[in-house]
Structure 1
Amino acid sequence: MNTLLTIETRNAVLLKMGVLLEKERETIININKEDLEAYKGDDISMYDRLKVDDSKVDEMIKSVTHLASQDDPVGVERFAFKHDNGMQVYNKTASFGTVLIIYESRPDVTVEAAGIAFKSGNKILLKGGKESLRSNLKIVELWHEALKANGASTHWVEYLQFNREETQAFLENPTQKVDLMVPRGGERLIAFVKKHANCPVIISGRGNNFVYVHPKADLDIAMDVIINGKTAKISACNAVDKVLIDENLPEKEAFMKRLISKLKAFDVEILGDEKTAKYDEISQFESDDIWYEEFLDYKIVIGEIAGVEDTIAMINKYSGGHSASIITTDEAVAKTFMENVDTAAVYHNVSTRFTDGSQLGLGGELAISTDKLHQRGPIGLQHLVTNKWYVHGNGQIR
């Protein structure tokens, strides 16, 4: 049982972590270079997520200092009721207990996700990928230093240095109580955790996000949203993979040629259906199964669609349930799209790249959930809690 640390102690640990990250900035970056040099894979998005530079360290520091400034998410009253018999009933938020985060490649998760879990009163078990082991161990060392500096046990942040077989054994039969598991990574990792876990799992699912260009679209906005969504950060789960162009779009050919030219300037491979493959530089895809794929690469599919109803059906069938955007000046059409598209975040004339805890006002996220229980989309500090009933009386019996 983890005795809840006071909010003052939790905040002090987070602020100390910010100081230590600044102090050890060069050491972290140099250790990360060893991880980068040892990485022999050819996955460019994995390499991108693995890299720690000055701006990444800045983000880590900003994350923990911002967390320290936020209200305590534990013990917040959600409901109160005075029973006829005089009992006073309250429902309040409570920490989960122990949260296991399994992730690939991203040393910043060792700071941000651990910080969110810790601030919300949870013990954190971290299981990072072997490709980022050196970076992760250094960051955990700083967590332990921050905890000890504030008289708190280092058991609050623990790193599990397991291989795949040891991880599977731990998931199936944990050597300590685990209350919640959060896998962050590719579909294989998520499927592996879901298959073997023996406690609730928050699925931080795939992206495969869509943009729909409606006939009443502002074409400059459409261009900016598509290019930003596809090229700003290909390793992000909020990147764009699919574009649906309404067949009744005015100036469709001119827009398509301009879009193709801009995408090609970023070396994006463009695939299309029968109608869009007539354009130079677009290759027709072989199977409709490609609509299900998340690329995490400089690759995009552009297709034509008959209207908003067909678009909604298409997105609901193929997307990862993450993010979708409509580009239109028609408010009523936007409302229909946003109410009926079944994704965690829906956008009107905005890039899908904003599906991110810090961008949506949460100050960071543990993960971005594509499940519907218990929280959808970015899981922030205030979502990493469960709840508990507090009932006060003076001898009432039923």
Structure 2
Amino acid sequence: MNTLLSIEKRNAVLLRMAELLEQERSAIIAINKKDLEAYKGDDISMFDRLKVHDAKVDEMIKSVTHLASQDDPVGVVRFSFKHHNGMQVYNKTASFGTVLIIYESRPDVTVEAAGIAFKSGNKILLKGGKESLNSNLKIVALWHQALKENGTSTDWVEYLEFNRTETQAFLEKPTQNVDLIVPRGGERLIAFVKQHATCPVIVSGRGNNFVYVHKAADVNIALDVIINGKSKISACNAVDKVLIDKGMPNKNEFVNTLISKLKASKIEVLGDNTISKENGVEALQSNNIWYEEFLDYKILIGEISSTQAAITKINKYSGGHSSSIITTNEAEAKLFMENVDTAAVYHNASTRFTDGGQLGLGGELAISTDKLHQRGPIGLQHLVTNKWYVHGNGQIR
């Protein structure tokens, strides 16, 4: 296990990384072009996540700079207690040790996730997808340069150039100590990691997010929130399902406006039996589609009888990620928010805000749909475990 680096040292490495990203900006973008040209798949969301342009580099720089400005998440006293025998007891946050991050296609994860894990005092093992290998190796070389220039071992950030078989073997019998695994990617990747891992896994699960338009909704807010929910189809916080209260006044007029706005944005609209009959859109083929995360220019609209029915439906079909209610009725909003079982619940706002940076964490390692050990965006302050510190002067029990 690497000895914990001082907070000054960790921050200095992060700030140097920010400078190197700026300095090597055009080289990173040029190397990423090779990865884009070599990508032969037809997954548009994968391609979108693979691409590095100026704005992505800006985000990478912002993320490490912001991390350097944040308080040390390690050694924070969570609880203290003075025993009657005179012992002083503290419970403090502690780093995990070694964190393995397995991810697909996103070179920005090589900066942001590694930065969060490093700032939390952890050694990082990065296992990126083959589609982003050139981009990732370039970024890891910058991490190594930042570490070396600060007189620190490059062991703190290690890239695992493994194929699927080697990755499976490593998960089942790690050749070095691993304390926590964070998979970031699609359902297949997450299932693969959960099946083979022999240490704790934080699951960054699927989206399949719902917006419920209550009968007392402000229709302009509803339209804005739904359209915004489809503004980035590759995001896990995108909206896939819309439930419309059948008691909504001028319901058909609202649905027609919504459908025409979605179609203007080139989004394919499906409807349940009622919506498809009344509004002339394609009907769903099977109820199983309610479980599906689309990651595509596609949305499903259904009618629902009440807030309680909406809660039941969301709890059955959603990925446990994000859901939103659009209403001017505070009591209905409260009922919905307290009873919908998703990591983030919204009232009159877009699910696209489920993101560490947007929710005040400065960045995120992943968005957990598990309930242990942290739910929703996992920021710097969540990537720690804890430890008991007990000070005595000879006490025995």
TM-score class, shorter: over 0.9
Contact 1:260 1:281 in 2 (8 A): no
Contact 1:124 1:157 in 2 (8 A): yes
SS for the counterpart of 1:389 is strand
**Length, aligned pairs only:** 397
Counterparts of 2:281 and 2:205, CA distance in 1: 29
Partner of 2:65: 65
The residue type paired with residue 134 of structure 1 is N
Counterparts of 2:2 and 2:355, CA distance in 1: 30
The residue type paired with residue 144 of structure 1 is H
1:140 partnered with 2:140: yes
Partner of 1:360: 359
Counterparts of 2:297 and 2:395, CA distance in 1: 66
Q: CA shift at 1:267, angstroms?
A: 1.2
Counterparts of 1:145 and 1:216, CA distance in 2: 57
Q: CA shift at 1:280, angstroms?
A: 4.7
Partner of 2:236: 237
Counterparts of 1:9 and 1:265, CA distance in 2: 51
1:122 partnered with 2:90: no
Q: CA shift at 1:241, angstroms?
A: 0.2
Contact 1:356 1:364 in 2 (8 A): yes
Identity over aligned residues, as a percent? 80
Within a 5 Å distance, the mapping from 1:327-342 to structure 2 comes to 327-342=326-341
The residue type paired with residue 116 of structure 2 is I
SS for the counterpart of 2:241 is strand
Q: CA shift at 1:52, angstroms?
A: 0.3
Contact 1:92 1:387 in 2 (8 A): yes
SS for the counterpart of 2:387 is strand
Contact 1:369 1:375 in 2 (8 A): yes
Within a 5 Å distance, the mapping from 1:286-305 to structure 2 comes to 286-305=285-304
For 1:52-103, what per-residue CA distance to the aligned partner results, in whole angstroms no more than 9, with x for missing partners? 0000000000000000000000000000001111111000000000000000
Partner of 2:312: 313
1:86 partnered with 2:86: yes
Counterparts of 2:279 and 2:82, CA distance in 1: 71
1:112 partnered with 2:112: yes
Within a 5 Å distance, the mapping from 1:6-45 to structure 2 comes to 6-45=6-45
The residue type paired with residue 371 of structure 1 is D
1:255 partnered with 2:254: yes
Counterparts of 2:359 and 2:127, CA distance in 1: 27
1:204 partnered with 2:220: no
Contact 2:255 2:279 in 1 (8 A): no
Contact 1:124 1:158 in 2 (8 A): yes
Partner of 2:385: 386
Partner of 2:375: 376
The residue type paired with residue 172 of structure 1 is E
Any gaps of 5 or more consecutive residues in structure 2? none
SS for the counterpart of 1:275 is helix
For 1:281-312, what per-residue CA distance to the aligned partner results, in whole angstroms no more than 9, with x for missing partners? 51111110000000000011000000000000
Counterparts of 2:115 and 2:291, CA distance in 1: 33
SS for the counterpart of 1:124 is strand
Any gaps of 5 or more consecutive residues in structure 1? none
Counterparts of 2:154 and 2:336, CA distance in 1: 48
Contact 2:252 2:279 in 1 (8 A): no
Counterparts of 1:256 and 1:216, CA distance in 2: 15
The residue type paired with residue 294 of structure 2 is F
Contact 1:171 1:198 in 2 (8 A): yes
The residue type paired with residue 216 of structure 2 is K
Q: TM-score, normalised by structure 2?
A: 0.99
Counterparts of 2:371 and 2:14, CA distance in 1: 30
